[in-house]
Structures are given as C-alpha cells and as structure tokens.
Amino acid sequence: MNKLQIIGLAGTNGSGKDTIGQMLADKMGYLFISVTELLRAEATRRNQPASREVLRTISAEWRRELGLGVLVDKVVAEYEIVKDKYSGVAMASLRNPGEADRIHEMGGTMVWIDTDPRTRYDRIQANKDRRGRAEEDNKSFEQFLAEEAAEMHTPAGGDAANLNSAGVKERCDAFINNDGSDVTQLENELRRQLGL
C-alpha cells in the first residue's frame, strides 16, 4: 500500500482503547501499538517503576526533547519496519494535543472512546491482573477520578508537553461510547465511524 493508514485512539482511562486497538488488529489487519507499553519499556530500561507518574514524566521529557508528536513518530517508525504485513497502524493511548495534530498531519484519524466513569473503574478492577498493572490499578474510585482529572487538562500557563486529554478530545474525528458489553455492536460502530 502506498498511503499510510493511521488511527489514533484516545479516551478516558478504562474506556476500551486497547480493546478497540486489538479489534482493529484482529478484524481489520492493523498493527496495534500501545504507546503506554513503549513508555513502560522505557521505564524498565531506566530501572524505574512503571507507575502513571513515571510514565507521565517520561512522555513529557520526550515531548520536550523531540517534539509533541514524538510518541506517534516512534509508533510509525516501528510500523515502517513491518508495514507490508498490515493494512495500517493503530495506536493508543494518545494524551497530548500534539499527538492528535501529528496524526492529522499524516492524514490519519483520531478516535475518542468514552464510557461512564463507574463502568470504567469496575472494568479496570475486574481486569487488573490480566492487564498486568495490578499495583497501578489498585486504587479507590475517588483516587481513580482524581488521577483522571489531573490528566484531562494542562493547568493554565502549564507545560505544553504535559498530558491534556481534553485537548486531544477536541481534535478527535470520531467518538465511540463503549458503555455496552456487545463486542459485535462495538465493532459495527467502529466500522461505521471509520468507514471501514
């Protein structure tokens, strides 16, 4: 294929970004890469815990040093090595507006996934062992909400390299509500929204 097919996935914690990314991989032939896993690998390389705080720090550091779209560029570089095997690349979890802008610069589509906060929290708690993040996910509902609020907005006058999920949401092209449990319905909605 000549043109890069790129889909950026963003949304609230536990909304199903990785589920949709895996669906794009399994059902539609995309390479799916989680930028969170790239950051976890870097934390491990640095002998640091893969906590949300450490991952936020690393991602902000990379954005300051290499540009706001650096995580997108890192994923696309991985895709370029194996692109003949896939119909495109999907990446999650984009949390900085510069990442959404980079997706658009490359002709890609940004998708925002959301779900009721309690549903998301319950999903995370039910799947924390399978997610491999049990220590990170072990928190109260109130802590979950506070952490999410901190990631939604960069404070006024703050560092543009920090997380700003609300700014990403403003730049999204498609919006998926993942409140249900019907995977087929979710796949159909994804195909409809993306014209796949």
| DSSP secondary structure, 40-84, as one string | HHHHHHTT----HHHHHHHHHHHHHHH-TTHHHHHHHHHHHHHGG
Give the structural domain span for 181: 6-189
Does some domain include residue 194? no
pLDDT tier at 1 (50, 70, 90 boundaries)? Answer: very low
Q: Is the pTM of this model over 0.85?
A: yes
Instruction: For residue 10, give the CATH number of its domain.
Output: 3.40.50.300
- As a whole number, mean pLDDT of residues 84-109 equals 96
- On whether residue 195 sits in a domain, the answer given is no
Exposure string of 122-140, with b = 16+ CB inside 10 Å and e = fewer, is: ebbeeebeeeebeebbebe
Cis peptide bond upstream of 140, omega within 30: no
* Position 67 in a domain: yes
pLDDT in tens, 17-74: 999 999 999 999 999 999 999 999 999 999 999 888 899 999 999 999 999 999 999 9
Total domains in the chain come to 1
Kindly report which listed range (51-55, 92-96, 139-143, 154-158) carries the lowest average pLDDT score.
154-158
